Each structure stands twice: as C-alpha cells, then as structure tokens.
Amino acid sequence: MDKEFYIPQGYRFAGVNCAIKPNSTKLDFSLIVSDKPATVAGVYTQNLNCGAPVIYDRERTPGRGFHVIATDSGVANACTGRVGLFNARKMAEYAGEAVGATGDQTLVMSTGVIGVQLPMNRIAIGAEKAAAKLGTTFHDFEKAATAMTTTDTKIKIVSREKTLPNGKTIRIAGMCKGAAMIGPNMATMLASLITDAMLEPEDAQKILRASVEDTFNCISVEGHTSTSDTVLLMANGAVDSTPLKGEDLDVFAETLLDMCKELAPMIPNDGEGVSHLITIDVYGAPDRESAKKLAQTVANDALVKTAICGADPNWGRIVSATGRCGVPYDPSKVSLKVNGFLLYENGTPVAFDKQVVSDSIRNNRDTSFELFFQEGDASIRFWTSDLTVEYVHLNADYTT
C-alpha cells in the first residue's frame, strides 16, 4: 500500500484518541494541516437539521487561506441548538491555535451520535495531542483516516498522481468514512480530499460539486441522508502556486472524479452488516433526474435488499420498485439483467435457471443490476448494499 499511495506535498496528518466516547480508546480526533494557505471547497448535506459543523463550514467555503481540517468521531454535534454552533466554532479555534493558525483558518467535521453536545474539554485535549503528533508519512495519513471512522470496519483511502498538460506532476489523496445513515444526497459520510495543486475557490467548488454529484451523491445504505455529510476539497499549491486553468484544470477535474469513483462505493461496500455491494446501472431513462430517482428507489428498497442478502433472484421486486417512484415510463418496454442474466424483457418474464442466478449472487460480493427503459438517453450508476440481519442488530442498539 505504502509504495503505491501518493501523499500530496505540504500536508501533515495526525489521528489521536481523546475519549470523546468515555472509556473508548479508538482514535477519534484528527488534524490535516497545510503549512501553505489553501483553497477549500465544500459540498454538504441537504438535511434541514444539519449539524453545527456543516453550518460553520458552509458559511466559509469556497474560500482561501485555510490551514486546518479538524475532525472528531463519536459525537456529530447535530440537533444541538445554539450551544452546538458555539462548540463548532470553539473546536475550530482549539484546533487552529494548537498548530499556530486561527479558528478562521480551520474547518471542522463531526460524526457520531446526534443530539449530544461535544465534550469540549476532550476536544481541547485532542487538538493538543494531535498537534504534537503531526507527520507526513503514509502512517500518519492512515491514522487521520482511522480517527474519522465510526462503525466502519476499515479505513477508506485512495490517491492519484497525475502529470498535467503543463508538465507539473500533482497528487490528490482522499479519505472518507461512512457505513450507515447513508442515503443520497450524501450520507453520514465525511471526506477530506487534498491536493498539492492550486485552485481558485470557485473552480474548486465547481469541480468538487460535479465529482460529488456522480459519486458520493449516488450511494446509499438505507436512504437516510444524514445531518452531517461533508466533503471538503483542500488545494494548497505546494507543487505550483499558480491556480490551474483551462486544460490543466480539466485534467485535474477528470482525475478527481476518477478518484471519487473509487472512493465512494467503498462506503456502501462497508455498510453495516453488508454482504453484497450492489451496482445499479439505469439506461434509457428520459433524463438524468429520472434515472437517479429510478436507481435510488431500487437502491433503498428493503425488499430488494433483503432478496439479495438471501441470494434470491426475486426480480419482481426490482421491477416493482421502479414502478413506484413516480417516473413515468412504458412498462412494456422495461428489461432487467441481474449479474448479466436477462430475467425480464420488454415487460415480460424470461425463463431462466433460478439456481444458476441464485448461485451467482451467493458466490459474489459484487452484484449488478442493469435496468433498460427505452425512454431516452439518460443513464446513471448507483451503488447500494444489501440488508442483512446484522444491519438490524447493529442499528437496534446504537445508543442504548
């Protein structure tokens, strides 16, 4: 891993434990620090009850002159009223000042239980501990990625190195977390994407939004858009302080999108109790919005998700799910493939070997649905997980 992973220049990382959940020894506080002032763009949850860190960051991005991203896991600081807003600002100040910057040069992310106030004495300790441990290695990066996880079973990190048309070689690296309360748009997911290229704030915002739309906004575990979803893109220009333009910017945007396509499905693939990652391709929808609605309705359907958990090729549930989402289409022109097997063609069942299809689901973690509508040219790819007994166990006893 170490060899293939590209850490962008000019960043330092730390992940520490400060016992945000009492008696826990899990890493739960992280810092990403850029020594040079960086541009940061952000895309956030559309949940009205958004967390205080979302409100804090949204007011400040896109913008320039940032040095720090501070993240805690354990307490989401959402549905926490005015005290929550005060604490988000305070967390930024603690983290910024611990590394010689200010609160205004710091952005914050929080994930965990909703409706509980941040333990600010712990956050202060976390900021000091993390500041003392900042480093530039892959292991430091990995610790920061670990500190943002909650019920995740593994860290989710990716990187890219790319030589731009201007001859400069830049790096992008991303870390994200998320395993439940995952529903577009975005999820209880946090992501920090960092690069050593330089970007104008408006350009950073535009390309981040486009990348998120095709990736983090096309994943779901149970369709619950969380209060806290945040994706930040930080660009510090350590390789070249001239903001990218034209062709260079286009290549950067493609590289970022490509990286996010690898990073985003890691979330439903690590969904709580998941035994299958389901990739849903919708073809021939009337428009993109309809394509997304069709895919998303299938992705969130408990009957579809339990069927896949049980390796049951119950394609009727998939077709039925598309019919209930409000997108108009001609039912006699719909076809469906599961794992490449044609099960339904132009509104009519196709004879197939149930055992063969069931085995192909049972023996592969990756499951593919392809839905064909013949209504237009729009297509979309969407990722979701199956629904298992373990998911229910994990979520029936989260806070008590």
Residues forming the active site: 188
Among 334, 338, 371, 380, binds a second copy (CB under 8 A): 334
Interaction of residue 27 with a second copy, rule CB under 8 A: no
Per CB under 8 A, does 351 bind a second copy? no
CA–CA distance, 345 with 349 (Å, rounded to integer): 6
**Residue 322 in the binding site for a second copy (CB under 8 A):** yes
Closest to a second copy by CB, 198 or 294: 294
C-beta of residue 279 within 8 angstroms of C-beta of residue 190: no
Q: Quick check: 342 binds a second copy (CB under 8 A)? A: no
Asked if 7 and 159 touch (Cβ cutoff 8 Å), the reply is yes
Q: Which is nearer to a second copy, 166 or 395 (CB)?
A: 395
What letter would DSSP give residue 7? P
Q: Residue 344 and residue 323: Cα distance in Å, rounded?
A: 14
Closest CA to 277 of 308, 310, 322, 240: 308
Q: Which of 113, 134, 210, 251: binder of a second copy (CB under 8 A)?
A: 113
Burial of 48 (0-12, 13-18, 19+ CB in 10 A): exposed
Rounded least distance, CB 4 to a second copy, Å? 36
The answer to whether 48 contacts a second copy (rule: CB under 8 A) is: yes
Q: Cβ atoms within 10 A of the Cβ of 241, count?
A: 11
| 294 counts as binding a second copy under rule CB under 8 A | no
DSSP H or E run through 88: helix 81-98
- Using CB under 8 A as the binding rule, the residues of this chain from 28 to 47 that contact a second copy are 46-47
Does the protein bind a second copy through residue 190 (CB under 8 A)? Answer: no
Q: Choose the binding region for a second copy from 9-17, 27-35, 110-118, 374-382 (rule: CB under 8 A).
A: 110-118
Which of 62, 313, 337, 367 touches a second copy (CB under 8 A)? 313
User: 5 vs 13, 160, 258, CA distance in Å?
Assistant: 15, 8, 15
**Cβ-contact 123, 20 below 8 angstroms:** yes
Positions touching a second copy (CB under 8 A) are 46-50, 76, 78-82, 113-116, 180-181, 183, 222-227, 300-303, 306-307, 309-317, 319-324, 328-329, 331-332, 334, 344, 347-349, 354, 358, 387-389, 391-393, 395-400
